[in-house]
Amino acid sequence: MSAAMSGPRVAVLRSEDRAAPLAGALARAGAVPVLCPLIANELPVTKAQRALVAEQLTALAEGHFAWVAFTSVSTVRALLAIAAEFGTELTLSPVTRVAAVGRATARSLEAIGVHVDLVPSSEHSARGLLAEWPVPEDTAFAAVLLPAADLAAPSLRDGLLERGWRPVDLVAYRTVDAPGDPGLLLGVPVPGEASLAAPSGLESLTPPLLADALAAGSLDAAILTSPSTARRVAVLLDGRTSATGFIAIGPRTAKEALAHGLRVDAVAETTDPAGLAGALAARAAATERKQS
């Protein structure tokens, strides 16, 4: 993609392993993606920590859990990587039901042959999952495996506890400041997933230059795909006000951004790249209506 292309310049702050699909969706919507990964996703540091994850994957395959909930594509990829390291696979017992936070996560599971029983019909978040999560039919079989990032909010776990389930937290990967440790970065794609490499030919910014561009308003928008990304932006701005508005992937990310003084112009209706691109388009349409 030529840097001379017209269209709104939109900063993609997502980790490199997740940037390609979002950048592609933005380009198809007429935007010019500008890459600046602020966070990276890494596997647990020690082999002993990864072995604990592998043990829970064995328990999952043996039917020890009534449900398992996947809250990101990165979780699926981390579990695939750990399973491969320990010579096993990500397989589920027929007695275990599967929840996915959104369509992209559901597609990644279906690509490896995992049937998904629950995807929220409206809000793709922990709150959306809880709104449609059933009550336990058998309190003796009510364990729910919750593999997620180390910084995952406790809202899903707490909500399940209130409903009579027995959630089991499992740190599948870590969220760190980019660029991360090359030896621990998530590098196992889901079958059928787009290339993990950042798209070629796109403009990129270092974090300090990103902060300057946000403060100067030389970017038309920036995409926040997690609360940790919002916090990282606030640290980079170091007290400066961003003249650039933000598109948030969901309500929790929007709340975190607002708490750090970032202006949120739109919140995506769905958490996949198409939903984020749609939020950008909706913001542009709203701006045009105000100006007309």
- Convert the pLDDT of each residue in 138-177 to its tens digit: 999 999 999 999 999 999 999 999 999 999 999 999 999 9
What pLDDT is stored for residue 117 in this prediction? Answer: 98
- Per-residue pLDDT tens over the stretch 265-279: 999 988 888 899 999
Q: Give SS3 for 126.
A: helix
What pLDDT is stored for residue 193 in this prediction? Answer: 61
| Residue closest to 114 by CA, chosen among 83, 89, 92, 143 | 92
What pLDDT is stored for residue 1 in this prediction? Answer: 38
Average pLDDT over residues 204-220: 96
Distance of CA 186 to the CA centre of its chain: 13
- Per-residue pLDDT tens over the stretch 44-73: 999 999 999 999 999 999 999 999 999 999
Query: How many domains does one find in the chain?
Result: 2
In this structure, are 53 and 163 located in the same domain?
A: yes
Spatial distance between the Cα atoms of 130 and 122, rounded to a whole number of angstroms? 12
Confidence of residue 104 (pLDDT cuts 50, 70, 90): confident
In this structure, are 238 and 165 located in the same domain?
A: no
Question: How many Cα atoms are found within 13 Å in the side-chain-facing hemisphere of 285?
Answer: 7
Provide the residue range defining the domain that includes 272: 9-37+198-291
CB of 119 closer than 8 Å to CB of 90? no
* Domain annotation covers residue 166: yes
* Domain annotation covers residue 193: no
Cβ contacts of residue 287 below 8 Å, gap of 6+?
A: none
In this structure, are 161 and 92 located in the same domain?
A: yes
In this structure, are 67 and 99 located in the same domain?
A: yes
Confidence of residue 3 (pLDDT cuts 50, 70, 90): very low
Quote the Cα angle for 31-33-37, to 5°: 150
In this structure, are 218 and 142 located in the same domain?
A: no
In this structure, are 147 and 73 located in the same domain?
A: yes
Cβ contacts of residue 231 below 8 Å, gap of 6+?
A: 256, 260
Between the alpha carbon of residue 115 and those of residues 98, 126, 222, the distances in Å are 7, 20, 34
What pLDDT is stored for residue 279 in this prediction? Answer: 93
pLDDT score of 220 more than 60: yes
Mean pLDDT computed over every residue of the chain: 91
* Domain annotation covers residue 191: no
Spatial distance between the Cα atoms of 133 and 85, rounded to a whole number of angstroms? 32
CATH number at residue 235: 3.40.50.10090
Q: Which of 1-5, 44-48, 98-102, 195-199 has the lowest mean pLDDT?
A: 1-5
Spatial distance between the Cα atoms of 62 and 94, rounded to a whole number of angstroms? 9
| Residue closest to 190 by CA, chosen among 107, 273, 115, 82 | 107
What pLDDT is stored for residue 244 in this prediction? Answer: 97
- Per-residue pLDDT tens over the stretch 8-43: 999 999 988 788 889 989 998 999 999 999 999 999
- pLDDT > 70 in the chain, percent: 95
pLDDT score of 199 more than 70: no
Domain stop point among 146, 177, 208: 177
In this structure, are 27 and 57 located in the same domain?
A: no
In this structure, are 146 and 53 located in the same domain?
A: yes
In this structure, are 110 and 90 located in the same domain?
A: yes
CB of 136 closer than 8 Å to CB of 66? yes
pLDDT score of 249 more than 70: yes
Number of H helices, E strands in the chain: 10, 11
* Domain annotation covers residue 100: yes
